[in-house]
Structure formats: C-alpha cells, structure tokens
Chain A
Amino acid sequence: MTRTSTRALALTAALATTVGLAGCGAKTDSSAGSSGSAAATGSSCVDTSGDSIKIGFLNSLSGTMAISEQTVRDSLDMAADEINAAGGVMGKKLQVVAEDGASEPTVFAEKAEKLITSDCVAAVFGGWTSSSRKAMLPVFESNDALLFYPVQYEGLEASKNIFYTGATTNQQIIPAMDYLKEKGAKKVFLVGSDYVFPRTANKEIDAYAKANGIEIVGEEYAPLGHTDFSTIVNKLKGSGADAVFNTLNGDSNVAFFKEYKNAGLKADSLPVVSVSIAEEEVGGIGVDNVEGQLTAWNYYETVDSPENKKFVADFKAKYGDDRVTSDPMEAAYTSLYLWKGMVEKAKSFAVPDIQAAAGGVSFDAPEGKVTVNGENHHIAKTALIGKIAADGLIYTEWSSDGPIEPDPFLKGYDWAAGLS
C-alpha cells in the first residue's frame, strides 16, 4: 500500500472508533434521558434505598452573576451541613451534587436536566435570574422534579414544580412603591437590565403608578453586563424625577452607581430604591457609592431575632468574620429546611407526595416564621425597606404590618387586572 492510503486507512479507523465510543456513551445517556422524560407521571430515578439522599445545588459560580450567586451556594452548603449534623432528612444524610450555571440560562437548563436525569437528585436548589428560572421551568415540569428558587422575582408564575422562597411582586415591589408614595414621590424613573424580571416588574410598576397618581418619567434598559451609564444618567438628570426604581442586576449596578455619584446626584434628593442590591453587592459596588440609598427586601443581616443572630454567627464562624448575609442567602437556607419539613410531613421523597403535603409547612427562619402556601408554592414574607449605612450593612427603615400573603398573579389588586 502507498503511504497516503495507509494514512487514510488509519485515520478512518481512528474516526470509526471514536464515533463508536461516542455512540456507546450517547446510548446510555439517551436511555436515561428518555426514561426521565417519559416519566412525566413520576417514575423518577431517585434512589431512596440507602442511608443517603442526593440533592442538587445549581448556582452561577462564574460569569456576571457569580458575585451574587456564590453567596447562595455558601448558605446552601451551611444548611446541608447543619441538617446532616442533626441526623439528616428522615435519617438519610444529604449528599450534595453541585453544578455551576455560569450565568447562562441555557447552561442552567442543561445542568438541571443532568441533575434530574443523570444524578437522580430528589430536589434542586438554586437559580437566580428570572431568565435562568424560565429556562429551567420546562425541564422541571417535563421531568416532574422539584426546584427551590430562593430569589425575589417579578411574580406572574406559580408552577407546581417550583417552590419560591424569595419574594413575589406583592411582597417586595409593591411595598417599595407604597413606601415611595408615602414619602411623596410623584415622578419615578425606572432603570433596569434588559431581561424578563425588570421588564415585567416595570409593567407592574406602570400599572401601580397609573392607579396611584405617580408619573413614570423614564424607563431605560441596559443589556446585562453593560457598563456605560453616562447616557442613562444624563437622561435621568433631565427627567425631573424625584425617585429612581432600580432593577439592574450584576455588574451594571457598580457602573450605574459610580456614574450616578460622578454626575453629582445625591441619595437624599434623588433616592434610588434597588431590588437586586443586598449586603453582598454593597461591598463590590463600594459603600461610598451607595451610602444612603434604599433597598427593598424581606431580610437584612441586621434583623433582630434570635434565629437570625444564630444564623449570622454560624455563617461568620464557618466562612469568616468579614462575610455578610443577605436575603437570597437566607431564603436559600430556609428553602432547604422547608424541603426537609415537607419530606417529613409527607414521609416520602416522591414529588407528588411532597406537593400534596407542602401547604402549611412552616419553619422559624432567620427572617421570622414562614409558612408555605400550598396553592401557589410561595411563602408569606414581611416586606422591609432598608437604608444602606456607612458600615456597609442595611438597616430597616420601614416594614409592612406583618407577613404579606403571596399573590403572584396580583389577583387581589384591581389595578393589576390585565397584566399577565
């Protein structure tokens, strides 16, 4: 044989072997996948026979959202360790399978599929941006698995496969607008990142404003990760606004507040209410850039309760004294304990049993006692408006009268009719 044809033969043989091996790998994957998706009625692959049970943590450890989501991962890890130290769930130790969502919704969906069908976890805890949640929703619904989502979001959703331990619209956005109205704001400027949460939140704010005599003098969107806010701040200055409602997420907040400060704007004359800036982000933005600005959450590290004091102390002991705790971290920690409560009430790890038993399960969380609403899978939460202080922590300025029942579709508000 000539040299060229030997080489060609060798190459073809190598190629054939590779394809064959890849095919073998693909076969096992696809069979697991098809059993998962065919089992929409719940023949899940979760293994409850041994003395440990697998759960999945899915958070962004890289990319633009890593600054926020790494902290949720830390508090989930702490909750898992605490539960294991206390004997586990129904006597089984938690075995955590951890994945990185890389701040990309497509990666979140892909990793969720892997956790459910390949790692066979009993439940997944994580997600942050609404884009990641929307991308994961079909995965959880088609595989009939459970996601515990710990971040405040725009509402208008209530999947039977997701438990939402973060605030929905009427527990965060609406109380924030109530506070601005109480403070006499008549012209509000909206600025947000360009994805589902800010767009939907601003639609809701528009409707609220129309019904309450507030004028929306500007609505600006910047792509996620955008860092040049000179134009937007120029528009803000020219709009005559007396308050800003900020739904920017990730790195954009840093650039926006630096630009705001450099433009000579001040927190007492033009306050900014943010819903995505918590104790963790304050450090990255720089306290002098956001001191005196407002935030809307349901938990602050400074909340005065014995459960919270213990939570903060344990967290600092585990991760370092310079770490802070924030609302999504607390909601994630709570979500793991709520799942434990649901499993213990249902005496089963199976999804249909948990869904049936979920309503009424409660937990003494660091934010206060929370109870699961069985119909919409959210929890009742007290709204807290806080002000960022010079020490980098957030102190409560105003709180709603007690926990607010979750109303994700805003059925209880006439001005919200027509929003979907």
Chain B
Amino acid sequence: MDAVISQTFAGLSLGSVLLLAALGLALTFGQMGVINMAHGEFMMAGAYTAFAVQKVVSDAGLSLLVSLVIGFLVGGLLGLLLEVTLISRMYTRPLDTLLVTFGVALVLQQLARDIFGAPNVDVRAPAWLSGAVSVLGVDVPKTRVFILGLSIACVIALSLVLKLTPLGRRIRATVQNRDLAETSGISTRATDRLTFFIGSGVAGIAGVALTLLGSIGPTLGTNYIVDAFLVVVVGGIGQLKGAVIAAFALGLLQATIEYSSTASIAKVLVFVVIVAFLQVRPQGIVSVRTRSLA
C-alpha cells in the first residue's frame, strides 16, 4: 500500500514537471500554431536565472521566490525577442519556424556554455524544502510537493487570465478565428506577442522549478522539449485542460511502468502508448469541434 501511494505521488510529481514544461508550449503551439523548438532553452534560461539570482541573494529561500518572478520575466522577454525578430515573419510557414527555432535553441545552448561554462552548476534548495513530509503515512520529498503546488497554481493563474481578463478574451478570439478577430479591431500582432511572452515566461518558471530536482546545464532544455511536445499533442492542441490531463496521465503511466521494470523500458512503453493513442484519437484527449475550415 505504501508503495502504491509513494508511486502515485511520484507519478503526480513527474506529471507536474511535465505540466510546467508543457504549459507554455500549449499556449504558443496550441494557441498560435508556432512550433517553438527553443522552448526548452527558455526553461534553461529560467534555471540559469535561478543560479544567477542565488549568487546575489544568498538566502536560498528568498532567492527561490525572487527567481520565480525574475525567471518568468527572463523567459518572457526571451520569447518576446524571438517572436518579434524571427517568428513574426514566419507565421504562414510552420516548418520554417521549426528549423529556425531549432537553430536558435542551439545558439542559446552555446551562449549558456560560454557564459556559465559547460560543466553543470548547482542551485541550493532552501532549508524549508529539504527533507520529506508525511502524506497518508508515506514520506514524500518537500521539493516535489512544492513543484506540484506550483504547477497547479500556474494552471489556475493561466486559466483565470484566459477566462476573465480582456487579454485572455483577445487571445481566445485570435485563436478561434484570426481573420474575424482582426476585422473586429483586435490587434492580432500585439496579442500574439503577449501570448508568446506569457508562454515563454511559464517556461522560465518551469526552469526555476527544475533547479530543485537536478543539475543545471546547457542541455537542460533538450531533456524536456520532446516530452513537452508530446504532452501538448496528446492533450489536444489548443486545450489547456487537455494538457493538464495529458501531463498527469503520462506522469502516472510512466511511474507505474517504471516501478515494475526499469526507467528505460518505461520511457519506451510510454512512447508506444502515446503512438497507439494518437492512432485511435489523433485530435488528442480534449478537442473542440469547430466549423472552421482550418
């Protein structure tokens, strides 16, 4: 029973990491149809931000909270920069965006190597996050509880923004029918930029969260980019709800398989399940039935 609880938690925790990585992508890829291969590098930028902040603010707890804010801004600004300079010229050419952003990802990785060095760096976790807390009689690491909470908070914040704020309405309008939104007086260009800012900012937050779990290196982004895309595709493109369900489902699936076999086999089987699922339901878990031609 203990094993079931601790594995369920491990699955939820894995899911929350996937969710944080995929949430921003769900916005940019899902809402805007932009394949941003540099999304992982925005996460890396957030992680390195946490490292840099900790050099200035030596208290690990304070630096964590400060890094979350600054990481959001850093990620967002990087995304905005990318959007304004490159992606805005390529909205009608998705394959070109894929290649260009892949190139940008490599450039960012090398930049990180030049600025911070190739070896990995370490960010100290705050003392109030070290050790474990007892949930249902099982010890679960506090850092993972924190990340779970953070991911849920991000989802709630994002859905509130989308549902209640004028910006959110403009984003939804642009996604549902770009031309109609344009003719209704919405500046789709400005909306796109803001969407990209928010999506990449969430990636920055994800990067900060990752510093609690492992080491930070220039190739951090490459570990998560594929999983992030998988979550978005399985969840249904354009559906935040779908991304949430998909992230936790995949996390739980991987944790369950990994318990009775090895990590390598678990990854393979998860891919197999995803491929099989997409054969049966290519539109993903949650999809909107629209009458649009696109």
A residues touching B (Cβ–Cβ < 8 Å)? 61-64, 66-67, 70, 194, 220-223, 225-228, 230-232, 234-235, 237-238, 251, 254-255, 258-259, 261-264, 280, 283-286, 288
Segment 12-61 of B: residues with Cβ below 8 Å from A = 13-14, 17
B122 contacts A284, C-beta separation under 8 Å: yes
A284 contacts B215, C-beta separation under 8 Å: yes
User: Which A residue sits closest to B2, measured CB to CB?
Assistant: A238
Q: Contacts A62-B113, A223-B264, A258-B213: A284 and B121 contacting too (C-beta < 8 A)?
A: yes
A238 neighbours in B (Cβ, 8 Å): 2-3
B262 contacts A258, C-beta separation under 8 Å: no
B118 contacts A232, C-beta separation under 8 Å: no
B125 neighbours in A (Cβ, 8 Å): 258, 262
- Tell whether B137 is near chain A: CB-to-CB under 8 Å: no
B10 neighbours in A (Cβ, 8 Å): 230-231, 234
A227 contacts B214, C-beta separation under 8 Å: yes
Complex partner residue of A234 from B7, B131, B143, CB under 8 angstroms: B7
| Bound Cα distance from A68 to B129, whole angstroms | 29
A66 neighbours in B (Cβ, 8 Å): 118-119
| Bound Cα distance from A223 to B267, whole angstroms | 10
Complex partner residue of B215 from A230, A234, A251, CB under 8 angstroms: A251
Complex partner residue of B130 from A220, A232, A261, CB under 8 angstroms: A261
B118 contacts A62, C-beta separation under 8 Å: yes
| Majority secondary structure, A binding face | helix
Please name 29 pairs of A and B residues whose Cβ atoms are closer than 8 Å in the assembled complex, sorted by A: A66-B119, A67-B118, A67-B217, A220-B263, A223-B267, A227-B214, A228-B213, A230-B255, A231-B7, A231-B258, A231-B259, A234-B3, A234-B6, A237-B139, A238-B2, A251-B214, A254-B122, A254-B214, A255-B215, A258-B125, A259-B213, A262-B141, A262-B144, A263-B141, A264-B131, A264-B139, A264-B141, A284-B119, A284-B121
A284 contacts B120, C-beta separation under 8 Å: yes
| Bound Cα distance from A223 to B139, whole angstroms | 26
Separation in Å of the A194 CB from the closest CB of chain B?
5
- Tell whether B178 is near chain A: CB-to-CB under 8 Å: no
Separation in Å of the A193 CB from the closest CB of chain B?
10
A222 contacts B122, C-beta separation under 8 Å: no
- Tell whether B63 is near chain A: CB-to-CB under 8 Å: no
A288 neighbours in B (Cβ, 8 Å): 124
B141 contacts A221, C-beta separation under 8 Å: no
- Tell whether B241 is near chain A: CB-to-CB under 8 Å: no
Segment 169-220 of B: residues with Cβ below 8 Å from A = 212-215, 217, 219
A63 contacts B262, C-beta separation under 8 Å: no
Q: Contacts A220-B262, A226-B263, A230-B144: A262 and B131 contacting too (C-beta < 8 A)?
A: yes
User: Which A residue sits closest to B143, measured CB to CB?
Assistant: A262
Q: Contacts A223-B263, A230-B13: A251 and B217 contacting too (C-beta < 8 A)?
A: yes
| Bound Cα distance from A325 to B131, whole angstroms | 31
B2 contacts A263, C-beta separation under 8 Å: no
B residues touching A (Cβ–Cβ < 8 Å)? 2-3, 6-7, 9-10, 13-14, 17, 113, 118-122, 124-125, 130-132, 139, 141-144, 212-215, 217, 219, 223, 255, 258-259, 262-264, 267
| Bound Cα distance from A228 to B12, whole angstroms | 12
Q: Contacts A231-B263, A262-B143, A263-B141: A67 and B119 contacting too (C-beta < 8 A)?
A: yes
A232 contacts B131, C-beta separation under 8 Å: no
B2 neighbours in A (Cβ, 8 Å): 238
| Bound Cα distance from A288 to B214, whole angstroms | 14
Separation in Å of the B13 CB from the closest CB of chain A?
6
B143 neighbours in A (Cβ, 8 Å): 258, 262
A64 neighbours in B (Cβ, 8 Å): 217, 219
User: Which B residue sits closest to A255, measured CB to CB?
Assistant: B214
B223 contacts A225, C-beta separation under 8 Å: yes
User: Which A residue sits closest to B215, measured CB to CB?
Assistant: A254
B120 neighbours in A (Cβ, 8 Å): 67, 251, 254, 284
| Bound Cα distance from A231 to B6, whole angstroms | 8
User: Which B residue sits closest to A61, measured CB to CB?
Assistant: B118
B122 contacts A194, C-beta separation under 8 Å: no
| Bound Cα distance from A87 to B7, whole angstroms | 62
B262 contacts A286, C-beta separation under 8 Å: no
| Bound Cα distance from A262 to B10, whole angstroms | 13
B259 neighbours in A (Cβ, 8 Å): 231, 234-235
| Bound Cα distance from A255 to B223, whole angstroms | 13
B13 contacts A221, C-beta separation under 8 Å: no
Separation in Å of the A188 CB from the closest CB of chain B?
18
Complex partner residue of A283 from B3, B13, B122, B212, CB under 8 angstroms: B122
Complex partner residue of B122 from A232, A237, A261, A285, CB under 8 angstroms: A285
Q: Contacts A61-B118, A194-B264: A230 and B14 contacting too (C-beta < 8 A)?
A: yes
With A262-B144, A263-B139, A264-B131 given, name 10 new contacts (CB 8 A): A222-B262, A223-B267, A228-B17, A228-B213, A230-B141, A255-B213, A258-B143, A262-B143, A284-B215, A285-B215
Complex partner residue of A221 from B131, B214, B255, B264, CB under 8 angstroms: B264
Separation in Å of the B92 CB from the closest CB of chain A?
25
B119 neighbours in A (Cβ, 8 Å): 66-67, 70, 280, 284
Separation in Å of the B253 CB from the closest CB of chain A?
12
A226 neighbours in B (Cβ, 8 Å): 263
Q: Contacts A238-B3, A251-B120: A258 and B214 contacting too (C-beta < 8 A)?
A: yes
| Bound Cα distance from A263 to B7, whole angstroms | 13
A262 contacts B223, C-beta separation under 8 Å: no
B258 neighbours in A (Cβ, 8 Å): 231
Separation in Å of the A104 CB from the closest CB of chain B?
12
| Bound Cα distance from A220 to B263, whole angstroms | 8
| Bound Cα distance from A251 to B210, whole angstroms | 13
B255 neighbours in A (Cβ, 8 Å): 230-231
| Bound Cα distance from A386 to B263, whole angstroms | 30
Separation in Å of the B105 CB from the closest CB of chain A?
14
User: Which A residue sits closest to B256, measured CB to CB?
Assistant: A231
Which A-B residue pairs are the 10 nearest by beta carbons?
A: A262-B141, A254-B215, A255-B214, A230-B10, A67-B119, A286-B122, A227-B214, A264-B132, A66-B118, A222-B263
Q: Contacts A221-B262, A230-B144, A231-B10: A262 and B118 contacting too (C-beta < 8 A)?
A: no
| Bound Cα distance from A283 to B132, whole angstroms | 24
Separation in Å of the B114 CB from the closest CB of chain A?
12
Separation in Å of the A98 CB from the closest CB of chain B?
15
Separation in Å of the A111 CB from the closest CB of chain B?
17
User: Which B residue sits closest to A219, measured CB to CB?
Assistant: B262
| Bound Cα distance from A393 to B170, whole angstroms | 57
B9 neighbours in A (Cβ, 8 Å): 230
